[in-house]
Amino acid sequence: GWTMASFVEAEVKALREKLGDDHVVCALSGGVDSTVVAVLLHKAIGKRLHCIFVDNGVLRHNEGDEVVTYLREHFDLNLKYVQAQDLFLDRLAGVEDPEQKRKIIGYGFIEVFEKEAKAIPGVKWLAQGTLYPDVIESVSFKGGPSVVIKSHHNVGGLPEKMDLKLVEPLRELFKDEVRKVAYELGLPESIIWRHPFPGPGLAIRIIGDITRERLEILRRADKIVQAELKASDWYRKVWQGFAVLLPLKTVGVMGDDRTYENVCALRIVDSLDAMTADWSRVPTDILARISNRIINEVKGINRVVLDISSKPPATIEWE
Ligand code: XMP
């Protein structure tokens, strides 16, 4: 029968045949998809795979670091960690429009990635973690609505621009199958079960202007959400769970003092493929713990609210 062990074996063989002695460049995002792509390709072509991880300044706490550390410790692969925080944050300063944020991050990524990839001699291929639902979505979009809800161009346009051929080892798999492949490859659970994280990162979870200070506030709140979901084993049950920082201050009381601070929204959803979603019925004691910890531990937030909207008509992210 069809098992993930036979998928790995067949895919590694197919990649070897397809790529021959060619060099391949791969953008690591920190997520399970690109990590599985990197490990599969490493098995197939070893050091002819070149991984690039770009820190765009809007990653959450530990996003990426864990994956980069894991790959470096377990595989002898080429991996470059590019620190590009300032480039992105300078360009994002003062930008409030969500699509503008996406464009700045999308194009900035292409710029940084292209520069790094061009410094590697003889690269012919770009590896991407495209999944089957992405293939379907882009096909159905042709006959579908012409309205762009959110432009997801993470590496869009890059292959043509750089004259690279695309290699997409996961394009026949669904997310749950990628996780099975990840198990088969021996990846740690913390990577296998990592929630999807959008390319534009925290930039679209800070509503309004993005400052380094607001990024730090959101990172600290989000870290608590992640920790409490993991501690309660709800992390795996939900599709995504995260904090959103609102451009709104409200009055609170701390001890004998009046506070006037930011509001943080919790967004925790169930979904199969992100096309539709519903808010997760997380037990109230867990919600209470998350709320108490954020308000007590994160300076700059004095109120936490829960998002109980389904998609549609809302979307998962707020921007
Ligand atoms: P929405 O907000 O459209 O999100 O319901 C659906 C899924 O996509 C993720 N998302 C993105 N991922 N680039 C990405 O790579 C993006 O610009 C982007 N916008 C949303 C979101 O986290 C959810 O999993």
254 CA to middle of ligand 1, Å?
Answer: 36
Does the bond joining 313 to the residue before it have cis omega, within 30 degrees of 0?
yes
Categorize the per-residue pLDDT at 5 as very low, low, confident or very high, splitting at 50, 70 and 90.
Answer: confident
Helices (H) and strands (E) in the chain, counts: 11, 9
Is the beta carbon of 274 within 6 A of some atom in ligand 1?
A: yes
Instruction: Give residue 244's pLDDT.
Output: 99
pTM over 0.90: yes
Categorize the per-residue pLDDT at 162 as very low, low, confident or very high, splitting at 50, 70 and 90.
Answer: confident
Q: Give the residue, by CA position, lying nearest to ligand 1 atom 17.
A: 152
Q: What is the pLDDT of residues 287-316, one digit of tens each?
A: 999 999 999 999 999 999 999 999 999 999
Cα–Cα nearest to 242, from 315, 307, 292, 175: 307
Is the beta carbon of 152 within 6 A of some atom in ligand 1?
A: yes
Residue 155 pLDDT greater than 70, yes or no? no
Dihedrals phi, psi of 63, to nearest 5 degrees: -65, 120
Pairing of strands 23-28, 49-55: parallel
The whole-angstrom separation of Cα 22 and Cα 219 is 40
Q: What is the pLDDT of residues 28-45, one digit of tens each?
A: 998 999 999 999 999 999
Is the beta carbon of 311 within 6 A of some atom in ligand 1?
A: yes
Is the beta carbon of 196 within 6 A of some atom in ligand 1?
A: yes
Instruction: Give residue 106's pLDDT.
Output: 94
CB 262 within 8 A of CB 246: yes
Categorize the per-residue pLDDT at 153 as very low, low, confident or very high, splitting at 50, 70 and 90.
Answer: low
Q: What is the pLDDT of residues 101-110, one digit of tens each?
A: 999 999 999 9
Residue 72: half-sphere exposure toward Cβ, Cα within 13 Å: 12
Instruction: Give residue 273's pLDDT.
Output: 84
The whole-angstrom separation of Cα 251 and Cα 234 is 31
Residue 138 pLDDT greater than 90, yes or no? no
ipTM for the complex shown: 0.99
The whole-angstrom separation of Cα 308 and Cα 278 is 8
Q: Give the residue, by CA position, lying nearest to ligand 1 atom 22.
A: 198
Domains of the chain, first to last: 4-192 (3.40.50.620), 205-306 (3.30.300.10)
> How far, in Å, are 112, 201, 203, 219 from residue 88 at the CA level?
10, 12, 10, 17
Instruction: Give residue 53's pLDDT.
Output: 96
Q: What is the pLDDT of residues 54-96, one digit of tens each?
A: 999 999 998 888 899 999 999 999 999 999 999 999 999 999 9
The continuous run of DSSP H or E covering 249 comes out as: strand 240-254
Pairing of strands 165-167, 257-270: unpaired
Q: Which of 105, 152, 153, 272 to mutate to test the pocket of ligand 1 (most atoms within 8 A of CB)?
A: 152
The whole-angstrom separation of Cα 273 and Cα 231 is 25
Q: Is 29 annotated as a binding residue?
A: yes
Instruction: Give residue 163's pLDDT.
Output: 84
Instruction: Give residue 142's pLDDT.
Output: 43
- Structure token pair of residue 89: 């944050």
198 CA to middle of ligand 1, Å?
Answer: 5
- Structure token pair of residue 127: 């590896």
317 CA to middle of ligand 1, Å?
Answer: 6
The Cα angle at residue 244 between residues 283 and 86, in degrees rounded to 5: 140
CB 150 within 8 A of CB 156: no
201 CA to middle of ligand 1, Å?
Answer: 9
Q: Is 190 annotated as a binding residue?
A: no
Q: Average per-residue pLDDT in the chain?
A: 93
| Coil, strand or helix at 246 | strand
Categorize the per-residue pLDDT at 319 as very low, low, confident or very high, splitting at 50, 70 and 90.
Answer: very high
Q: Which of 148, 242, 316, 318 to mutate to test the pocket of ligand 1 (most atoms within 8 A of CB)?
A: 316
The whole-angstrom separation of Cα 248 and Cα 206 is 11
Instruction: Give residue 141's pLDDT.
Output: 44
Residue 156 pLDDT greater than 70, yes or no? no
Percent pLDDT > 90 in the chain is: 84
Q: What is the mean pLDDT of residues 145-157?
A: 65
The whole-angstrom separation of Cα 255 and Cα 233 is 33
Q: What is the DSSP letter of 206?
A: B
Q: What is the pLDDT of residues 187-207, one digit of tens each?
A: 999 999 999 999 999 999 999
| Coil, strand or helix at 130 | coil
- Helix-strand-coil split of the chain, %, nearest 5: 45, 20, 35
Q: What is the mean pLDDT of residues 126-139?
A: 83
Query: Which atom, in ligand 1's list, is nearest to the CA of 102?
Result: 17
